[in-house]
Structure formats: C-alpha cells, structure tokens
Amino acid sequence: MEEKIEEIKGEIALELSEVKTSSELFRLKAKYILGKAGIIPGLMKELGKASKEDRPKLGMVINSLKEWAADYFAKKEAEINEAERNYRYKKEEIDITMPAKRVPQGTYHPVSIVKAELIDIFAGMGFRVLETREIEDDFHNFTALNTPKEHPARDKQDTFYINDDFMLRTHTSPGQIRSLTTIKPPFKVLIPGRVYRADDDATHSPMFHQIEGMVIDKGVTMADLKGTLNTLVRKLYGENTVTRFRPHHFPFTEPSCEMDVQCHKCGGKGCPTCKGEGWIEILGAGMIHPKVLEGCGIDTDVYSGWAFGMGLERLAMRRFKISDLRLIFENDVRFLQQF
C-alpha cells in the first residue's frame, strides 16, 4: 500500500506541475480527491478489505495522503488564481493618460434655439405653450379667421391643399381658433409650429416656422400688445432696441399692425441688410377681430384680446447673421455645428 501511495503522490506532483488553468486544476481535483470516484477516496474502500491489525496503520497512511494532497492542491490553486488574476489585471489595464475617444455631439438647430428663447421669455409672462395641428381644415385656417372666400391667401398657389376641405396650415393663426374654442378665457397662449406655403426661393421656403401668441381677458387693449411686444424685442435684441408699429391689414385683427425694429447694422440710415429701409419688419399683430371672437362664442362685451404671429427663420437669421434662408433647411452638419 505504501508503495502505491508514493506512486500516487508522484503522479499528482507530475500532473500538477503541468497545470496552467483553473479548469485543468479542477479536472485533476475531480480525478484525485473529489467525491466517491476520486482515486484517494477510492483507497478508503480498500481499507475495508485490509485485516483488522493492518487497518489503523493503513487508515493513518491514507489520511496523511489525503492531507498532503489537499495541501498540495490548495497551494497550486492559490498560484493559479494569482496568475489568472494578474493576467486579467494586465488585460484590463487602462492608461488614463491616453486621450479619450471623441463622442460626436449634436447641437440645437438655430430655429430651435430661437424658439426655446421665445418660449422662455413668454413663459416668464405667464403664457402657456400649445401645439395645434399642421393639417387644418378650411374653417380653422381661413373662415373662422374672417378670411372670406375670395381672399388671395386662399389662392391655390399659396396653399397646399390636400383635398377640398383640408390643407397644410398656411400660418399658426388657426391655433387661435383651436384655443378660443377649447380654453375658457381669460388665457394667454403661445403656439409655435411648422407652416406651409407654395413658395420656394432664396427668401422663401415651402415649410417654415411661426410662433403665434394671443391674450384674451377683460379690458385688454392695444397698449398691452405694444408693451408686451416691446418687452419681447428688448429681451431679444437688447434694452436700447428701437421699434415702431405700422398700420397694416389682416382679416382676423382690427386694428392690425406690423412691428419693425430699427436696423441693427445701420442704425436706421438704410443699408443692404434692411434693403435701404432703415427698419426690419419682424411680426404682424393686432386686436383680435370681434367677428373671430364671436364666431368662437366669446362675448365681446366682456372680453377682448390681441394676437401676433412671427416667423422664426427670419428671427434666427438675424440673430445668428445667417445670410441665406436655404442654409437653415439644408442641414449640412458643417453649418449646424456652428451653433
């Protein structure tokens, strides 16, 4: 028996000397020391066959083999674990002095920037933001806005009709009707969104953005309108911006006006930027026509209101000194990355 044990020790030592991974080690553990099938546990069975006198001594010898093997395996296991850990550390090593990989970052579109700015300014004055539909019906886009059937704005050349009743909205003003028929006055709303017109050249795009604002309350006057819009322009262009209101005509406001800001380039003398005018038109506005209010079931003896509509592209162009409208829609990243 002792010979056999020496033999087993020799085999274990030999086999373990070649082991390099923990899975190989486990295989050998199974072969020699684990469970009933292991060679060393197998020796215990032979113990039963030995004579009564031999048995205690034999038991001791086998036990000492067991302890020796457990030790031997434990040492090897510690070695292998350490080697494997070192290998993993090496592989996962990070050189924190290496420059980081650049993650490309998006930017906000100039139109989104001015839209967010406007929303911010008006939110500060108590306006809520509404987004109404881009496909409108004839009633909301025209009729309810006091735009009679013969009005040139209805000409098929300006409007993208979908069928006789539906069209892509030509302005955000139908949002006024949607608000007036769903929200109980008094209220203040801001309606930003895309609008569509059959126009396409250096200064017109078939799709562009507007922002509509309206206020309805008791005793609202043109003075409120002027005050609000002047506040807006000063926040956008600076405290010293000079403005003027010019009489104009819109079917859905009475009286109507356009608001101009004095040209920032020439200070009002006239230059290419303002086409020699000294002024740049930035929006249309007015007191909401009583016919519009009454059509929406508002009692005009109690309530009055004002509204304005402005184009965002032109605002963005002025703000960021963009020379050509088409740049705004081409989405060339070299252009967009500048904002």
Q: Which residue in this structure is represented by tokens 């090496």? A: 90
Q: How would you list the strands of the sheet with 187-196, edge to edge?
A: 128-129, 187-196, 207-218, 303-311, 279-288, 253-262, 243-248
Total residues at interface with ligand DAH (CB under 6 A): 11
The least distance separating ligand DAH from the CB of residue 264, rounded to whole angstroms, comes to 23
Query: Residue 24: phi, psi to the nearest 5?
Result: -65, -40
The least distance separating ligand DAH from the CB of residue 122, rounded to whole angstroms, comes to 14
Stretch that binds ligand DAH, among 118-126, 133-141, 180-188, 306-314 (CB under 6 A): 306-314
> x-or-dash pattern for ligand DAH, window 133-172, by CB under 6 A?
--------------------------------------x-
Stretch that binds ligand DAH, among 37-45, 110-118, 201-209, 304-312 (CB under 6 A): 304-312
Q: Is 308 in the site for ligand DAH (CB under 6 A)?
A: yes
Q: How far is Cα 43 from Cα 331, in angstroms, rounded to an integer?
A: 81
The least distance separating ligand DAH from the CB of residue 287, rounded to whole angstroms, comes to 8
Q: Is 193 in the site for ligand DAH (CB under 6 A)?
A: no
Closest to ligand DAH by CB, 10 vs 227, is: 227
The least distance separating ligand DAH from the CB of residue 288, rounded to whole angstroms, comes to 7
Closest by CA to 315, choosing from 113, 108, 106, is: 113
Helix 22-32 with 2-17: angle, nearest 10 deg: 170
Q: Is 173 in the site for ligand DAH (CB under 6 A)?
A: yes
Q: Is 122 in the site for ligand DAH (CB under 6 A)?
A: no
Q: Which residue in this structure is represented by tokens 């302890």? A: 67
Q: Is 250 in the site for ligand DAH (CB under 6 A)?
A: yes
Closest by CA to 176, choosing from 82, 289, 42, 335, is: 289
Closest to ligand DAH by CB, 193 vs 284, is: 284
Neighbours of 290 (CB within 10 A): 14
Beta bridge partners of 194: 209
Helix 22-32 with 39-49: angle, nearest 10 deg: 10
The least distance separating ligand DAH from the CB of residue 173, rounded to whole angstroms, comes to 4
Closest to ligand DAH by CB, 73 vs 308, is: 308
Closest to ligand DAH by CB, 76 vs 171, is: 171
The least distance separating ligand DAH from the CB of residue 213, rounded to whole angstroms, comes to 7
Closest to ligand DAH by CB, 32 vs 306, is: 306
Beta bridge partners of 208: 195
Q: How far is CA 269 from CA 183, 240, 315, in A?
A: 45, 16, 21
Query: Residue 165: phi, psi to the nearest 5?
Result: -105, -25
Residue closest to ligand DAH (Cβ):
309
What is the per-residue DSSP string for 159-210? Answer: --BSSSSEEE-SSSTHHHHHHHTTSPSSEEEEEEEEEE-S--BTTB-SEEEE
Closest to ligand DAH by CB, 40 vs 111, is: 111
Q: How far is Cα 278 from Cα 276, in angstroms, rounded to an integer?
A: 6
Residues in 281-300 at the binding interface with ligand DAH, rule: CB under 6 A? 284-286
Residues in 209-228 at the binding interface with ligand DAH, rule: CB under 6 A? 212
Closest to ligand DAH by CB, 29 vs 169, is: 169
Tell me which residues touch ligand DAH (CB under 6 A): 171, 173, 212, 250, 253, 284-286, 307-309
